[in-house]
Chain A
Amino acid sequence: MKKTLFNNLKTTQLIVVTLLCSMALTSCLFDSDDNGLESWLSDRGLPNNYQVQTLSIDNIKPSSVEVNFDMRPKSADVNAVLGHVSNLTHDLVFDLAYSDTSFMKKMSKSDTAGAFLILSWLKPFYNAKQYPSDSLPFDDELEVTVSWKLETNNKDSYKSYFNKITKIADSTWYKELKEWKSDGSADTVVNMKRVKNDTTAAVRLDLPSALVKELKKVKGSAHLQLRLSAPNAPRLYRFYGDASTSYPPSLVLYSDSTTYMKPTPTPFRMANIVKNEEECPECAILHGGGVFDSLVVEIPSEPILEALSEFYGDEFPFIKGDSNDVRQTVIHAQITMARDDSKGSNELGLPIQIVAGSYVDSADMRYLDTADLRYRRMERYRLDTAVILSEGHQNLVFHEGDSLTLQLSYGFRDFLNKASDGRSLKFSMRIGWPFLQEKMTVYRDTIITKKTKVVSAKGDTTYKTKNDTLYKYFGYFDYARYDFSTAMENPMTVKLWLASKREDEK
């Protein structure tokens, strides 16, 4: 076979020679010094970092404040509440179905038949050390209005009837609860009693005789929707919901003192219906906990753009080409407002986080709001370590200090970028979770790796040992109420951290 030039060279030799030549050339002629790239960037007018500048703008007053009370019925599958607190009444609704022909016959014939509800106390909440010690004991004779909707079915099997009922989506059911039209209602009284370290597991709520009379008529399958309402309750009572595997509420039906329907029917879903009793619907009042009220605040563009114009010496808003301003961007932004905790009320005495979201542009049409064309983006929270350690997180109410600072980086970024269309800065505020680590900079649930001193929001000192968990939030809502009128009526301060593409001033 005729050999070619490359067949004469061994592969290894070729690679080694090529590699050595390349490396020699690279090291001799084509090396870089330590600052070579930095120097090259500089000669081309490119920076090697971005300069951060800060700008404070005082005397900002909102141009509009809109309150959105959250009146939507919500799931009570996990936490079920009943009662009245913070100008809100919370009704509890059960959706359940049952069938037991032989028992129903006994019940219908019995003069001693009856029914009651078993509601299990949410013991982890009442026994938590964060639960205020002065809230117990209580011993209330609670007036409860029981209203119901009862539907019976003799045609279908229980299984197919039950499937038909449960096919109704939860969201549809919640929606229907807004227009509650009962088949009947009656008042009853139940004793709500708890003391410290109470071992009482549940409350028995005897159902009114008018309802029992209706239940006795049931033949075949029954679909019962039961609503409890206690508008005059002195407080809010918390129970396990139907999602609890150990302590779900149950409906006990009996024909006499020893004969019960077994198994005891339990609801397959539950809901809470809120009634807002605030006298001033337009006041800047938010309710927290399981209620998602929001305050939508608009800041006028003029004072911010004027301040930026003065700061940079350029025209604001930017109106050239498509008018999208990319001359600078907001690295971080926050707004500080006055705070008066005395106008609020809470159940647990813990600081509560105020959650902020800004209205920004989105290409995602699912969020399209035809009124504004912006959607609400929840803001990211950055930790100001030094201030947190000395004064606590600044996005809390019901804690020391007299101001509230919300971080609105996404909002200000969008506002500066698109200010040419005349938009204002718009953000929403909502009451979040009770906060446990007021002065800790670890902003998450943490497993302790060594013995750590923890000062609670109430000033108690405890020591956590290895493998203990340090929780960020208390795991149950505080059905709090907060009046932000002081915040909205007094001037606010905006602070911006900015990066600019403008030429260096030399």
Chain B
Amino acid sequence: MKKFLLALGVFSSFAFSSMIGLDALGEENVMGGTASAAGRGFAGNAKTGDAEGLSVVNPARLAFDAKVVFNLNFSMELDGARNGGSHYSHSSLSIPSFNLSFPMGSFGAMGLSLWQHYAASFEDEYKNKETLANAKLEYKGSVYELVPTYAVRLPFFRSLSLGASAHVVMGNNSRNLTLGANNENIDKSDSWATGDYILSDYVEGAWEIKDHPAYYTGAVQYRGKNASYFFSFTTGYTLLNTLDYNFRFSELDTLESTRSKREIDVPAMLATGINYRLAKRHNVMVDLTWRVWDDDIENIAGGWNMPEVTETQTDFMVSLGYQFDGSPLFYESYWNRINYRAGAWYRNWYIKDVFEVGGSIGGGFPLGRKGTTIDVAFQGGKRFSDAKSEWEEMFIGLRIGLTGIATWGQERR
């Protein structure tokens, strides 16, 4: 454990995240961003087991869990953005989700997830005496969702389960563009007055759902001997971002902000997936999510030459994954107890003309005899962009999930 934390620390110094969509919602952490799902290409929402844990896409799966699971995920990503001859890399670290699920036998199962659904994170500065460039840009944005979930197996059709979850949205966001003066357009004798003034174009706001406490996901899951599948529907909702926008010289020397609200109509989402168990713990799985965006997204703040909106497109993701389940027997060799995972995906972003292709490998490494596991996923891929203001990106990522499993409330067999 200690060594893993050391390795995590080393990687976190190279942590990167996407620079696409910063003025809209940022990067979407799909499927709850768990390291186990990431290892198999974000597929496997239909996969059932004793301790699969909570899925924000398929709440019905939880009904088949037999053990209490808590799970904390870290995500680090290296992004290299390119456009023509220019290239640029950037960094950050995120914690996409924390999940807790609690099976209650014939009373079903409950779960709670804190999910960073969208993240916009960026900070860097640039100075060039020749071009008089002096800019520092900082984005901090998180759309968090608190997702209480309930799932239950049907009384007579025990292979079927129903699940529902509510997504309570919260979080905040900000953009701070700090600039130095350019006196090129004024008389030289007037330049004294600007001196070393640094000016910030600053906007900050908070997220909530308009006119409603939450949006909802409902799902049905079937677990067969070999094949399991699910179907889920997530309601559409309007995200409300209340913004304060101003110019500031410092935190204490600002203009009075203008307050505005941007509304983002997030469409309903359909999701489905299948998991097929081959002989001896081999699983293959396919998942699909689908959302049709009708409206463009107003950007976080106007001004300068920035586009006022981020154009949207139909957003879908196809994931293909494989998992070899490790043996649950602690006296087996360590290599046999590891879950091995691999996967690939294709994702159309919600941003027009941006799509992503990626692949991953991963493993679930048991620690000790009590079921504690560290899930690790290495990812890589490319985000393609034909959008004018977005660059294409290469990315590699590391996701680490800490999963604890317990049998609270379970009868000893």
* Interface members, chain A 1-40 (any B CB < 8 Å): 2, 4-6, 9, 11, 14-15, 18-19, 22-23, 25-26, 29-33, 35-40
CB-defined contacts of B135 to chain A, threshold 8 Å: 37-38, 41, 46-49
- CB–CB A499/B193 < 8 A: no
Query: Which of A5, A26, A36, A497 contacts B194 (CB under 8 A)?
Result: A497
Query: Which of A19, A33, A385 contacts B192 (CB under 8 A)?
Result: A385
Report the minimum CB–CB distance from A43 to chain B (whole Å). 6
* Interface members, chain B 213-263 (any A CB < 8 Å): 245-247, 255-260
**Known contacts A46-B135, A504-B305; is A22 also within 8 Å of B14 by CB?**
yes
- CB–CB B396/A43 < 8 A: no
Query: Which of B78, B131, B201 contacts A48 (CB under 8 A)?
Result: B131
CB-defined contacts of B367 to chain A, threshold 8 Å: 4
CB-defined contacts of B83 to chain A, threshold 8 Å: 39-40, 43
Bound CA–CA A207/B260 (angstroms): 73
- CB–CB B201/A331 < 8 A: no
CB-defined contacts of B134 to chain A, threshold 8 Å: 48-49
Is A326's CB within 8 Å of the partner chain B? yes
* Binary contact track B10-24/A, C-beta < 8 Å → 1, others 0: 110110100100010
- CB–CB B247/A44 < 8 A: no
Report the minimum CB–CB distance from B15 to chain A (whole Å). 10
Is A312's CB within 8 Å of the partner chain B? no
- CB–CB A15/B6 < 8 A: yes
Sort chain B's interface into a size bin.
Answer: 35 or more
B contact face: mostly helix, strand, loop, or mixed: mixed
Query: Which of A29, A53, A331 contacts B394 (CB under 8 A)?
Result: A29
**Known contacts A31-B89, A35-B86, A50-B179; is A331 also within 8 Å of B258 by CB?**
no
Report the minimum CB–CB distance from B12 to chain A (whole Å). 10
CB-defined contacts of B88 to chain A, threshold 8 Å: 32-33, 36-37, 39-40
Query: Which of A43, A322, A324, A385 contacts B391 (CB under 8 A)?
Result: A43
Bound CA–CA A51/B184 (angstroms): 8
Report the minimum CB–CB distance from A367 to chain B (whole Å). 15
Is B133's CB within 8 Å of the partner chain A? yes
Is A503's CB within 8 Å of the partner chain B? yes
Q: Which residue of B lies closest to A418 (CB)?
A: B256
Q: Which of A5, A36, A325, A417 has the most CB of B within 10 A?
A: A36
- CB–CB B396/A49 < 8 A: no
Is A361's CB within 8 Å of the partner chain B? yes
Is B81's CB within 8 Å of the partner chain A? yes
Report the minimum CB–CB distance from A309 to chain B (whole Å). 19
- CB–CB A497/B193 < 8 A: yes
- CB–CB B6/A54 < 8 A: no
Query: Which of B78, B183, B201 contacts A52 (CB under 8 A)?
Result: B183
Is A315's CB within 8 Å of the partner chain B? no
A contact face: mostly helix, strand, loop, or mixed: mixed
Bound CA–CA A413/B85 (angstroms): 42
**Known contacts A35-B128, A49-B179; is A11 also within 8 Å of B6 by CB?**
yes
Q: Which residue of A lies closest to B85 (CB)?
A: A33
Bound CA–CA A31/B394 (angstroms): 11
Is A262's CB within 8 Å of the partner chain B? no
* Binary contact track A319-339/B, C-beta < 8 Å → 1, others 0: 001101111110110100000
**Known contacts A14-B3, A45-B304, A54-B187; is A26 also within 8 Å of B260 by CB?**
no
Bound CA–CA A204/B182 (angstroms): 66
Bound CA–CA A60/B132 (angstroms): 35
Is B411's CB within 8 Å of the partner chain A? no
Is A168's CB within 8 Å of the partner chain B? no
Q: Which residue of A lies closest to B193 (CB)?
A: A332
CB-defined contacts of A43 to chain B, threshold 8 Å: 83, 388-389, 391
Query: Which of A40, A45, A413 contacts B86 (CB under 8 A)?
Result: A40
CB-defined contacts of B156 to chain A, threshold 8 Å: none
Bound CA–CA A413/B371 (angstroms): 62
**Known contacts A30-B78, A37-B88; is A331 also within 8 Å of B389 by CB?**
no
30 A-B interface contacts by CB (under 8 A): A15-B6, A26-B89, A29-B396, A30-B79, A31-B87, A32-B88, A33-B88, A35-B128, A36-B89, A40-B86, A43-B83, A43-B389, A44-B23, A46-B305, A47-B177, A48-B126, A49-B132, A49-B134, A50-B182, A52-B181, A52-B183, A52-B191, A324-B258, A324-B259, A326-B245, A328-B247, A384-B192, A413-B255, A501-B303, A501-B304
| Further contacts, 14 of them, CB under 8 A, given A37-B135, A383-B192 | A14-B6, A18-B7, A40-B81, A45-B307, A46-B177, A46-B306, A48-B126, A49-B182, A324-B258, A331-B199, A386-B192, A499-B247, A504-B304, A504-B305
Chain B residues near A (Cβ < 8 Å) = 2-4, 6-7, 10-11, 13-14, 16, 19, 23, 78-81, 83, 85-89, 124, 126, 128, 131-135, 137, 177, 179-187, 189-195, 197, 199, 201, 245-247, 255-260, 302-307, 334-335, 365, 367, 388-389, 391, 394, 396
What 9 A-B pairs have minimum CB-CB distances, sorted nearest first?
Answer: A36-B88, A501-B303, A45-B305, A48-B133, A332-B193, A45-B306, A30-B80, A39-B86, A30-B89
Chain A residues near B (Cβ < 8 Å) = 2, 4-6, 9, 11, 14-15, 18-19, 22-23, 25-26, 29-33, 35-41, 43-54, 321-322, 324-329, 331-332, 334, 361, 382-386, 413, 417-418, 497, 499, 501-504
